[in-house]
Amino acid sequence: MTAGALVGQRALVTGSGRGIGFAIARALGAAGAAVIVNGRSERATRDASASLAAEGIDAAAAVFDAGDTDRAEAVAEETGPIDILINAAGPRDRRRTPDLPPEAVLDLFRAHALGAYALTRALAPGMAARGGGSVVNVTSIAGPRARPGDAGYTAAKGALEALTRSHAVEFGPLGIRVNAVAPGFTLTEANAAMADDPEIAAFLETRAAIPRWGRPAEVAAAALFLASPAASYITGHVLVVDGGLSVRM
């Protein structure tokens, strides 16, 4: 991707105070986009924005809860024109179904799927009026697959993957492309404890074609491609970034 591929574009990246979201914001900014960093924590969000600005990236902070669907229209007004929306926000709640109440599952759906739905809905008219735009949802290989003790997250990511297809066919005629990246085991702050688990290391050694943890920058490169003009005829696609884990028998 050339350094100036996204010059003149404005991107909102939810959940970009750290981890994969931050890596995506950095990749978009390095490609020339003006980036709006988002998170619920004011300090973390502003620190992330300042870190990108120190690298020469045009970055600003927007502190709000991406899962608060009632705020989506206001966010669209406050952020101004957005050409690229990256829906990367979303927590994880690793509890087995007997220990995971329905209200906790609903919280996961709000954070992952409903938040992405509401923000896309709010920003799409402006994108269409300016000739088009790009939405990239950060799903997971947990969407079409599953591990024990992760039912709420898996269901929410599955819904976000389905939403990606639905919005692709709905907004395509308006010039808006909607795709997704589906990371596998990615070495983020949230997964630090798992990274030291010898059972998971052994699992990756035997199951992944590239037997190691992925890096946030590797997921970000995929998101950058989908958001960019290089993917101008791609929509409704889920680009899996998992080192071949999900294709191995």
Dihedral through CA 235, CA 237, CA 239, CA 245, nearest 10? 180
153 included as an active-site residue: yes
Residues 160 and 116 sit within 8 Å (Cβ to Cβ): yes
Q: Is 87 within 8 Å of 119 (Cβ atoms)?
A: yes
Task: Give the pairing type, strands 84-87 and 10-13.
Answer: parallel
Would you state the structure tokens that stand for residue 20, as one six-digit string? 């994969």
184 near 141, Cβ under 8 Å?
A: yes
Check 153, 171, 213, 225 and give the catalytic one.
Answer: 153
Q: 113: closest CA among 83, 91, 81? A: 91
In angstroms, the CA 112 to CA 212 distance is: 26
Number of H helices, E strands in the chain: 9, 7
Which residues neighbour 35 within 8 Å (Cβ) at sequence distance 6 or greater?
Answer: 11, 13, 16, 25, 28, 29, 52, 57, 58, 59, 60
Read off the tokens for 104. Answer: 């906790």
Catalytic residues: 153
